[in-house]
Amino acid sequence: MNAASPGTKSLDLSGQKALVTGANSGIGRGVAIALAEAGAAVVVNYVSGDDAAAEVVDQITRSGGRAYTHRADVSSEPQVLVMFRRMVKEFGTIDILVNNAGLQRDAAFENMTLDQWNFVIGVNLTGQFLCAREAVREFKRRGVVKEVSCSAGKIICLSSVHEVIPWAGHVNYAASKGGINMMMRSIAQEVAPDRIRVNSIAPGAIRTPINTAAWKTPEAYAALMKLVPYKRIGEPDDVGRAAVWLASDHADYITGATIFVDGGMTLYPGFTENG
Ligand code: NAD
């Protein structure tokens, strides 16, 4: 065990400053609350839905945490720059970036418009690039502060099982998630000597507004369960706990990895009874 090892201490992020993009809904909301419960101060980014964003900050501050909302479109370079500048001004720095903002614009491939393609790639992939770049710049400027963390900074990219499972009717989305995999691993390789860790969480089916149609009715839920060996839908908390651990010094030797939080969706469930 090295000198900086967290040993068996609990997952403690106190003193750390986190930015979670798309944090007023679903997984981002769950991750923001989980990071705050672990002691991090949190910037709750969102693009629309002022009330929902304020509610996340309320929940964090009522539990004794520190947070503020910041409206910004992650696919806009000027808006991302302003968001990071404000964070450094208000919180002093950034220790944890959770690149979560994402969306779908589905269409049969032959009908997919260039706008649908560009919109999804712009938010899901370019948005993660812009935020990761600003985070790396600040991590490198500041370096390791060993009282805070053994690492100079952590980036967690929200990918999807669709970084490996092809998805008909969602070519733009699957391409964005496949792109996140190579972007995440290439950044991880480049910045590891600076003690910056970059990893992904790839969820399966998590109960959020992005996929309501897949779990809302009993029929839809039953059909979904055919794809989930663990036989339950995931909750935003399932991702929140993984994010806290990955951001903590307990995961200090982990970089360039994708953690699937999917109840086994990537285990080829179609083969369960076909050995
Ligand atoms: P959601 O629709 O509940 O939340 C998406 C969030 O992204 C919202 O807060 C929204 O405001 C934000 N957002 C959208 N465009 C933005 C922009 N341009 N700038 C800033 N914020 C923006 O969806 P979710 O299910 O919580 O998804 C979160 C992430 O998890 C996405 O990257 C999604 O692809 C991924 N994911 C979700 C599932 C699932 O089953 N829910 C599975 C795999 C991956």
pLDDT value, residue 1: 40
Pocket test for ligand 1, best of 84, 210, 212 (most atoms within 8 A of CB): 210
In a domain, 74, yes or no: yes
In a domain, 12, yes or no: no
Q: How many domains does the chain have?
A: 1
Digit-coded pLDDT (tens) for 186-229: 999 999 999 999 999 999 999 999 999 999 999 999 999 999 99
Residue nearest atom 31 of ligand 1, based on CA coordinates: 102
In a domain, 11, yes or no: no
Range of the domain at 116: 17-271
205 alpha carbon – ligand 1 mean position (Å): 12
pLDDT value, residue 206: 98
Q: Above pLDDT 70, what percent of the chain?
A: 96
In a domain, 110, yes or no: yes
pLDDT value, residue 78: 99
In a domain, 223, yes or no: yes
DSSP readout, 74-143?
TT-HHHHHHHHHHHHHHHS--SEEEE---------GGG--HHHHHHHHIIIIIHHHHHHHHHHHHHHHH-
Digit-coded pLDDT (tens) for 49-103: 999 999 999 999 999 999 999 999 999 999 999 999 999 999 999 999 999 999 9
In a domain, 112, yes or no: yes
Query: Is 173 a residue whose pLDDT tops 90?
Result: yes
210 alpha carbon – ligand 1 mean position (Å): 7
In a domain, 7, yes or no: no
Digit-coded pLDDT (tens) for 91-133: 999 999 999 999 999 999 999 999 999 999 999 999 999 999 9
In a domain, 2, yes or no: no
Regarding pTM above 0.85, the answer is yes
pLDDT tier at 7 (50, 70, 90 boundaries)? low
Q: Is 173 a catalytic residue?
A: yes
143 alpha carbon – ligand 1 mean position (Å): 30
28 lines ligand 1 (CB under 6 A): yes
What CATH number is attached to the domain comprising 54? 3.40.50.720
